[in-house]
């Protein structure tokens, strides 16, 4: 068997070997890094666009601004109006929802109040809390919604049927009749007193001397 002569492999310094490995890694990793960077930039652009849309307060939309003025005056928005705000002024949705939740709590407290006096007390306490916790436009808007909620509730049959206070436990019609009688009550009392005096037996006068 013929023995092949040994051909020595040229010696490469260690630094050269490391450089080759580094070049190969760079060739593999660099495209991945570029792709990740491009994807990250695209995601950031999309996020910025979403945030910009969510922060849109509808300043350039006359109808959206009209609906916001209605809300700031203390009036509720209809479901259709809220849908318009969500579409064209999404940046105001959270603000409106927060105030409406506060208003609903005040309305519920007024409904649960047992008397008319208690309803007034609920409104008074709510006004105190609003004045304590808010300032500026936030204060003004909340006070207007409180006033509107109270005004709307006072127009309901539920409110009219409530007694004035806890001691006034008569039926509503009796209370109404009593209020109508009150201006004439002093005259009625005087008339009854005269009738009792006339019907009582007169003292007998002895004429015998």
Ordered by start, the domain boundaries in the chain are 62-168
Asked whether the beta carbons of 159 and 119 are under 8 A apart, the reply is yes
* Of 7-16, 158-167, 169-178, 192-201, the least confident: 169-178
What's the CA gap between 87 and 38, in Å, rounded? 31
Residue 90: both structure tokens together: 């999404």
**Cα 21–chain centre separation:** 64
pLDDT the model gives residue 32: 75
99 vs 205, more confident: 99
What's the CA gap between 12 and 114, in Å, rounded? 97
Residue 133: both structure tokens together: 């916790």
Q: How confident is the model at residue 201 (pLDDT cuts 50, 70, 90)?
A: low
Which of 57, 86, 61 lies closest to 78 in space, CA to CA?
86
* Of 11-15, 75-79, 127-131, 195-199, the least confident: 11-15
> CA of 169: how far to CAs of 107, 135, 178, in Å?
24, 41, 13
Look at residue 118 and tell me whether its pLDDT is greater than 50.
yes
Look at residue 36 and tell me whether its pLDDT is greater than 90.
no
Which of 142, 138, 113, 111 lies closest to 126 in space, CA to CA?
142
Look at residue 89 and tell me whether its pLDDT is greater than 90.
yes
pLDDT the model gives residue 100: 98
Question: Mean pLDDT across the stretch 161-174?
Answer: 74
> Model-level pTM?
0.58
* Span 39-67, pLDDT tens digits: 776 666 655 555 555 558 889 999 999 99
Question: Mean pLDDT across the stretch 172-190?
Answer: 51
* Percent of the chain's residues with pLDDT above 70: 61
Question: Mean pLDDT across the stretch 150-169?
Answer: 92
152 vs 189, more confident: 152
Mean pLDDT of the chain: 79
> CA of 19: how far to CAs of 14, 27, 124, in Å?
9, 12, 81
């Amino acid at each position: 068997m013929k023995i092949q002569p040994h051909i020595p492999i040229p010696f490469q310094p260690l630094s050269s070997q490391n450089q080759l490995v580094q070049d190969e890694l760079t060739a593999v990793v660099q495209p991945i890094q570029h792709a990740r960077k491009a994807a990250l930039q695209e995601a950031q652009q999309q996020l910025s666009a979403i945030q910009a849309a969510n922060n849109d307060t509808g300043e350039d939309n006359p109808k959206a601004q009209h609906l916001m003025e209605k809300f700031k005056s203390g009036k509720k928005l209809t479901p259709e109006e809220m849908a318009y705000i969500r579409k064209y002024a999404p940046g105001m949705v959270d603000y409106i929802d927060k105030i409406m939740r506060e208003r609903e709590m005040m309305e519920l407290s007024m409904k649960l109040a047992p008397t008319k006096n208690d309803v007034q007390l609920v409104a008074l306490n709510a006004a105190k809390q609003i004045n304590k916790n808010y300032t500026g436009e936030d204060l003004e808007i909340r006070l207007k919604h409180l006033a509107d909620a109270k005004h709307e509730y006072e127009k309901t049959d539920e409110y009219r049927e409530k007694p004035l206070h806890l001691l006034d436990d008569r039926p509503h019609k009796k209370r109404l009749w009593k209020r109508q009688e009150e201006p004439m009550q002093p005259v009625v009392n005087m008339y009854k007193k005269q009738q009792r005096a006339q019907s009582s037996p007169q003292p007998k006068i002895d004429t015998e001397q």
